[in-house]
Amino acid sequence: MQLKNLKTKFLGRNFIYHNNLDSTQSEIWRLIKNNNIINGTVVLADIQTDGKGTHGRAWYTDEKNNVAFSLYITPNCNIKKLDGITLRIAQIITKIFKDQYNIDLQIKLPNDLVFKGKKVGGILTETQIVSEVVKYLVVGIGINTNKQSFNDEIKNIATSIKNEFSINVDTQSFVTEFCNRFEKEIIKRINSVYL
């Protein structure tokens, strides 16, 4: 399976789709450990059974057609070049929703996407750093685009695009658009054409 309308040089060119997976973030780290991954790999899951949030929290993706994906980049750059990268990712995501759906999401620092104070999505940025050089950048993004039922633990603090706006977001189109925009940001930061 390939992402349609991809305009990138490397990001998302290797696209791995799972109907059901414990965690896209965990899967990328497994692929790294097994030396079985290439730069720009994107892993997308329709259902995540053990999704990862920040500080070890769970991220629930128990209904289909929500956004749950992780990406892998080998920047090989000084860590300073990636300063503020999580905020920049959040800004790219909010710009996509504004441009394509006329939806205004807010950013709650450091890594949450919210609407009217309720969490809609989150970003998990992990790195492997050797002597201040970032070897691996692994970014997980989860967005409640289609989720309609929330358990008691989170129903007062979480919501979804579907619940708030009654629209359908095409998951793969969103991932494609994110890759198209985020690759430009990464290349600009590390001054590399990658090819």
Residues with Cβ within 8 Å of 148's Cβ and at least 6 positions away in sequence, in order, are 63, 160, 162, 163
Q: Answer yes or no: are the C-beta atoms of 42 and 12 closer than 8 Å.
A: yes
Q: Answer yes or no: are the C-beta atoms of 110 and 87 closer than 8 Å.
A: yes
What whole-number distance in Å separates Cα of residue 121 and Cα of residue 32? 25
CA angle 141, 146, 148 (to 5 degrees): 120
Mean pLDDT by 10 residues, the chain (195 residues): 93 96 95 97 90 59 83 95 97 98 96 95 96 96 90 84 95 97 95 52
The pLDDT, as a whole number, for residue 151 is 78
Q: What are 20's strand-pairing partners? A: 47
CA-to-CA separations, 30 to 25, 96, 147, 176, in angstroms, rounded: 9, 30, 27, 23
The pLDDT, as a whole number, for residue 81 is 94
The pLDDT, as a whole number, for residue 155 is 77
Domain ranges across the chain: 25-190
Q: Answer yes or no: are the C-beta atoms of 142 and 58 closer than 8 Å.
A: no
CATH of 25-190, one of 3.40.50.720, 3.40.109.10, 3.30.930.10, 3.30.9.10: 3.30.930.10
What whole-number distance in Å separates Cα of residue 117 and Cα of residue 153? 16
